[in-house]
Amino acid sequence: MIIPFIKYSKVLIVFSAIVTVACLAFLFMWGLKPGIDFTSGSLLEVTFNTRPDNEELKKIFDNIDLKNTFFQKTGENGVIIRSEFLSEEEHQFVLKEMANKLAPSGVLVHEDRFETIGPAISKQLKSRSLLAIILVNLGIIGYVAYAFRKVSRPVASWKYGALAIVALFHDVLLVMGVFSVLGRFYGVEVDIAFVVAILTVLGYSVNDTIVVYDRIRENLLRHSADNFDEVVNMGLNQTLMRSINTTFKTMLPLFALFFIGGFSIHYFALALLIGIASGAYSSIFIASPLLVFVYKWQERRA
């Protein structure tokens, strides 16, 4: 059975464009909520035998002149506390104050982790993360243009790379749009782990797209390019099960990490799940149909 992907390509591209525009709108309205990796500050994760209310914790921190502090519940009895930069002396003082204030209520405090990021380091991390994403995209365009140099007809080889980047743009925007919504309504922050997830999604998505493009290239070398849309549709059908199987097997361990991996990697796994699923979608329903769209546009111009 041959699935007519190209026949419904306009509907798929319009749907993808709507999703992309919606994600862009979320990012412009709300942006991403940066974690301490990009804003500098301290992160303290503690566990209680009986978790107190956030208001009770807020009063303790207000009394020691730490007013701009945020509290996020985690697990059954845990709390993640984000504050301005704390020295080691201030860190120990905060722990002591919490223990003393909560002891009369029978609440015990156990520290799970403590992290600090200075302003200079956070600024450097932000600039390096942006540079890494830009260099990865440029590298992808260059590699795909070189890999497809033998099939410059009917679509120039560099356009394969450019269209792969369009698909990547959709995937990355979808992940960022979802995290923009999560940050706005659930206080979910993005950190270095999120950047690592984005770079992983870039690599996975372009890998899936290149597999499909490579099959199209093989078909072009064997068949005439006169029926380019049929050649593309054939390539999509030939690689469909490979894309589904690879994506499914990749997502299985990510689901395990998401549900039982603990809070520290919960949103890292979520970003990968969204990005990898989107990468499989975009390689089939965006990158390849856009090749046909570019081909037909060139034919109309000619």
**Residue indicated by tokens 């033998």:** 150
Exposed, middle or buried by CB within 10 Å (0-12, 13-18, 19+), for 209? Answer: buried
Element (H, E) at 111: strand 109-117
Instruction: Give me the phi and psi of 77, to 5 degrees please.
Output: -135, 20
Helix, strand or coil, per DSSP, at residue 5: coil
pTM, 2 dp: 0.84
Residue 103 and residue 190: Cα distance in Å, rounded?
34
- Going from the C-alpha of 238 to that of each of 7, 161, 214, 235, 247, the distances in angstroms are 16, 21, 11, 5, 16
pLDDT of residue 17 exceeding 90: yes
- Residue ranges of the domains in the chain? 6-33+121-301, 41-117
**Residue indicated by tokens 């000619």:** 302
State residue 278's pLDDT score.
Answer: 95
Q: Provide the b/e sequence for 239-256 (b: ≥16 CB within 10 Å).
A: beeebeebbeebbeebee
For 20-64, the pLDDT digits (tens) are 999 999 999 999 988 887 877 888 999 999 888 888 888 888 887
State residue 153's pLDDT score.
Answer: 67
Residue 122 and residue 133: Cα distance in Å, rounded?
17
For 139-169, the pLDDT digits (tens) are 877 777 777 776 666 777 778 878 888 898 8
Helix, strand or coil, per DSSP, at residue 104: helix
- The CATH homologous superfamily for domain 6-33+121-301 is Multidrug efflux transporter AcrB transmembrane domain (1.20.1640.10)
- Going from the C-alpha of 270 to that of each of 107, 175, 232, the distances in angstroms are 33, 9, 32
Give mean pLDDT, residues 235-257: 91
DSSP annotation of 153 reads S
Find which of 16-30, 220-234, 250-264, 285-299 is predicted with most confidence, using mean pLDDT.
16-30
Residue type, position 25, single letter:
A
Q: Which residues contact 100 (CB under 8 A, 6 or more apart)?
A: none
DSSP annotation of 52 reads P
Domain 41-117 falls in which CATH fold? Answer: Alpha-Beta Plaits (3.30.70)
Element (H, E) at 272: helix 266-282
**Residue indicated by tokens 């410059």:** 152
Residue 45 and residue 38: Cα distance in Å, rounded?
18
